[in-house]
Amino acid sequence: MSILDQIIEDKIKEVALRKKIFPTHYWEQSPLFDRKTFSLIERLKASASGIIAEHKRRSPSRDNINSKLSVADVAQGYEAAGVCGMSVLTDLKYFGGSLEDLTAARAVCRLPLLRKEFIIDPYQLVEAKAHGADVVLLIAAVLDRKQIKSLSQTAQSLGLEVLLEVHNAAELEKSIMPSLDLLGVNNRNLKTFEVSLDTSKLLAEQIPNDFVKVSESGLSSVEAIQSLKPYGYQGFLIGENFMKTDAPGATAAQFINTLTS
């Protein structure tokens, strides 16, 4: 069993348990549930950098990235740096995140927040809205076309933007539909964990211009981003490159300054 298969197996059990403890109507009473969301699309289109910065404590491929900093401090640092949006990992077992991280970030910034999670159930979309998310991630590798359509339509009905992540042409082909807002290409091979920007470059021309294009993983240098801009990418999701430092916000600010100067 691959690590992704194991994560999804655990996620199915986790969601089933959470449903029993916190029914959907519980989250619908959240003070954040009816708030007007911030648009990541609008921020990316108006930005010279397109940076989406991530809060991530750890990952299956790297045990500890940075668990010392509070998510609130990171969020404030990213906002001061001028990022377009913030990605917040909410998986606990494999990434050390939580929905409370999302709420903590929402309390201190006005950035569009992406709930980065392995979403398999509409219930998780309600959770996302109730905890202050503006955007949700759907991963084509773990969903079939029917699931992508159902989840993306539900997300949009809640006022959430949808970022659909693909790793190859087959995933992209099965996924393209009107209920998506942003299409993300993950440069990391899920089987080998190797990273290649050629993945984004090869898939770029297959992504219709109706969608905002986002490149993810392996974006550790300004040169990497500059090499992708001619391919139509407007968003660049950066995680470990900022989080592995003692001051992610300051690192992001320096990065953006170099990129845009």
pTM over the 0.75 mark: yes
Q: Is 216 a catalytic residue?
A: yes
Of the residues 117, 127, 161, 165, which is catalytic? 165
Q: How many domains does the chain have?
A: 1
Q: Which residue has the higher pLDDT, 191 or 117?
A: 117
- pLDDT one-digit tens code per residue, 109-130: 999 999 999 999 999 999 999 9
Of the residues 116, 129, 171, 241, which is catalytic? 116
Q: Which domain holds residue 101?
A: 3-260
C-alpha 115/C-alpha 231 separation (Å) is: 26
C-alpha 231/C-alpha 207 separation (Å) is: 10
Of the residues 47, 66, 175, 186, which is catalytic? 186
Average of per-residue pLDDT across 88-109: 97
Of the residues 54, 79, 127, 240, which is catalytic? 54
Q: How far is CA 110 from CA 75, 106, 113, in A?
A: 9, 7, 8
Q: Is 165 a catalytic residue?
A: yes
Of the residues 187, 200, 215, 217, which is catalytic? 217
Q: Torsions phi, psi of 62, nearest 5?
A: -145, 110
pLDDT exceeding 70 applies to what percent of the chain? 99
CATH number of domain containing 245: 3.20.20.70
- pLDDT one-digit tens code per residue, 165-180: 999 999 999 999 999 9
Q: Is 56 a catalytic residue?
A: yes
Structure tokens at 186: 């993950």
Q: Is 116 a catalytic residue?
A: yes
Q: Is 217 a catalytic residue?
A: yes
